[in-house]
Amino acid sequence: MGQRIEVVDTRVTDDSMIVTTDRSLTGADGEGYASAHGAAGESTFGAKLASDLFESDDSISRVYVASNVIILQREGGWLHDAEASSNRVIEEFFLYY
């Protein structure tokens, strides 16, 4: 069992949500995924997190992870429940990895 990731900041603009955390999840180059299937073939923390996020919300269409920033795109925008659910997946990622 790991340690909880702290979400430091969340910003929503149209269909995109930018989440800043207290923990680096990838190198500086970053990783982007357009589906759970695309992330499933990778074994990195970024790919596993993307896969978890896709599984948690069918409306998420893209996940990009670069260092301690996660950018999520969601069809139809971000309602409070969807934002809270994605943040919870991020916060608990290392608890069960």
Count Cβ atoms within 10 A of the Cβ of residue 46 and give its class: 0-12 exposed, 13-18 middle, 19 or more buried. Answer: buried
> What gap in Å lies between CA 21 and CA 43, rounded to an integer?
21
CATH of the domain at 59: 3.30.1370.70
Whether the pTM exceeds 0.85: the reply is: yes
Where in the sequence is the domain holding 25, given as residue range(s)? 7-96
**DSSP secondary structure letter of residue 26:** S
Number of other CB atoms surrounding residue 8 within 10 Å:
12
Residue 2 covered by a domain: no
Residue 1 covered by a domain: no
Q: What is the largest CA-CA distance in the chain?
A: 35
In the chain, DSSP assigns E strands to 7-13, 16-21, 31-33, 60-66, 69-74
Number of domains, the chain: 1
Q: What are 7-58's pLDDT values in tens digits?
A: 999 999 999 999 999 999 998 889 999 999 999 989 999 999 999 999 999 9
Residue 75 covered by a domain: yes
